[in-house]
Amino acid sequence: MPRVLISDKLSPAAVQIFRDRGLDVDFKPGLKPAEIREIIGEYDGLAVRSATKVTRELIEAAPRLRVVGRAGIGVDNVDITSATARGVVVMNTPFGNAITTAEHAIAMMFALARQIPEASASTKAGKWEKNRFMGVELTGKTLGLVGCGNIGSIVADRANGLRMKVIAFDPFLSEKRAVELGVEKVELDALIARADIITLHAPYTEQTRNILSRERIFAMKKGARLINCARGGLVDEQALFEALQSGHLAGAALDVFETEPATDSPLFTLENVVCTPHLGAATTEAQENVALQVAEQMSDFLLTGA
Ligand code: MLT
């Protein structure tokens, strides 16, 4: 009977699916890297979210391992090259949390446009600063999507509903699909120059690392806003800090950071920055979806090789 280790906090529904499918499953979230390395040799499958780093060392300590399942979208916590070299299949769940993440980006957009976190803190502090918080309307603004895949396309749909003008840069987006989504396909530099708000929905790869470089950040429109619910490494954080501090950008909403957990950052000192701790996929619905999907996919693979 194939054995599966779940080393991150996955919905209990996943454990049940593995059991129902006849697999032997151990649910051990919170183990230290060395502790996982010590036991991984006993398992055929490893199910993770983002806390477990599936490094070369871990893969080398796992002679039986056939599959790593990532309950979520980004697989940047898995060393794919080492996994592939050892014949270990890496699978993700590209659809399960897409709506939830898109909704978080939209929530961040409203939070930024109306300074809701600061206004809430000020009101709770008894200040009633009615004149301090002057927002901007979203209707009619140009939203620039960097990445228009599973998540970006849902953001586009919601933004169209808000009567925004949506433009998108995505090398994999066809003209036909862009028309279906109601977005204008543009090159990255055109998007940077035109967008009032830019939202990132691209994976973190060698090609996309620092895609919002210093040069591009300072090429954004004066008074523009940035939302990042994708990956911290997509943005030059130091340049972003400078652009926000100097007033070149009006604000940024960040769910992800170059180093996570992010417990300290110059960005935290700025009033025009809204931050959340990588909550993009954090809804009960999305976590249930990704847990069920990863358990089904891994079970299919381990039981049938398909
Ligand atoms: C993902 O890649 O699925 C999201 O960033 C959510 C997560 O990492 O938990």
Q: 68-78: per-residue pLDDT in tens?
A: 999 999 999 99
What spatial distance separates the first Cα and last Cα of the chain, rounded to whole Å? 16
Cis peptide upstream of residue 94 (ω within 30 degrees of 0): no
Expressed in angstroms and rounded, the spacing between residue 95 Cα and the centre of ligand 1 is 11
Give residue limits of the domains in the chain. 3-94+284-304, 98-275
CA of 150 to the centre of ligand 1 (A): 13
Model confidence at 39: pLDDT above 80? yes
Q: Does domain 3-94+284-304 have CATH number 3.40.50.720?
A: yes
Task: Check if 3-94+284-304 and 98-275 are the same fold.
Answer: yes
| Chain segment 245-256, per-residue pLDDT in tens | 999 999 999 999
201 is annotated as an active-site residue: no
Q: Whole-angstrom Cα distance, residue 134 to residue 123?
A: 15
Asked if 260 contacts 76 with a C-beta cutoff of 8 angstroms, the reply is no
pLDDT above 70 covers a percentage of the chain that reads 100
Q: Quick check: CB of 49 below 6 Å from ligand 1?
A: yes
Q: Write down the pLDDT at residue 306.
A: 59
Is 70 near ligand 1, meaning CB less than 6 Å away?
no
Show the tokens assigned to 268: 């935290």
Identify whether 187 is a catalytic site residue: no
3 is catalytic: no
**Contact status, residue 254 vs residue 231, Cβ threshold 8 Å:** no
| CA diameter of the chain | 66
- pLDDT digit string, tens, across residues 80-111: 999 999 999 999 999 999 999 999 999 999 99
Q: Indicate whether residue 151 lines ligand 1 (CB < 6 A).
A: no
| 148 and 105 Cβ atoms separated by less than 8 Å | no
Predicted confidence band of residue 208 (pLDDT cuts 50, 70, 90): very high
Residue of 42, 260, 271, 285 marked active site = 260
Q: How far is the CA of 174 from the centre of ligand 1 (A)?
A: 26
Q: Which fold has domain 98-275?
A: Rossmann fold (3.40.50)
Q: Is 31 exposed, middle or buried (0-12, 13-18, 19+ CB in 10 A)?
A: middle
Q: Distance, CA 182 to ligand 1 centroid (Å)? A: 26
Catalytic residue among 231, 242, 248, 285: 231
What is the β-pairing status of strands 3-6 and 24-27? parallel
Q: Which residue puts its alpha carbon closest to atom 5 of ligand 1?
A: 74
Residue with tokens 């036991």: 39
Q: What is the model's pLDDT at position 305?
A: 74
Provide the angle, in degrees to the nearest 10, between the axes of the packed helices 150-161 and 98-114.
50
